[in-house]
Structure 1
Amino acid sequence: MQSQVFAQTNVTISPSGTRILVQSDWGAANPGSGVIADPNAVIDTYVITLPSYKP
């Protein structure tokens, strides 16, 4: 049986709270294509920089 799990976006916050890493395949796993999961799909990592927070 083929896996029914698609690439899932994960979020990681830096210890300082000023950066967020987001991983995504941005649609490379297309359930409508008949291919459930492409083992060769590229997973990209994006960095979101947030302003410093000072209470």
Structure 2
Amino acid sequence: MQRGSTGEMTGADAHASLTALYDVAGQIRAAFIELQGQVRAMQTPGTGGTDAQGK
């Protein structure tokens, strides 16, 4: 992101930056949910995974 000669952001710059941050947060949340599902699948007996004690 580039700023003006005074180093300030315009409202449009701030909005674009906030939108990009929101998009990244959504991607992180989606990845986290996917990983939670994988961990649950690995910990569920009968699905080839192990329980929390590694059994």
Does the pair score TM above 0.5?
A: no
The structure richer in helix per residue is 2
Higher relative contact order (CA 8 A, sep 6+): 1
Whose Rg is larger? Answer: 2
The structure richer in strand per residue is 1
Q: TM-score, normalised by structure 1?
A: 0.29
Q: TM-score, normalised by structure 2?
A: 0.29
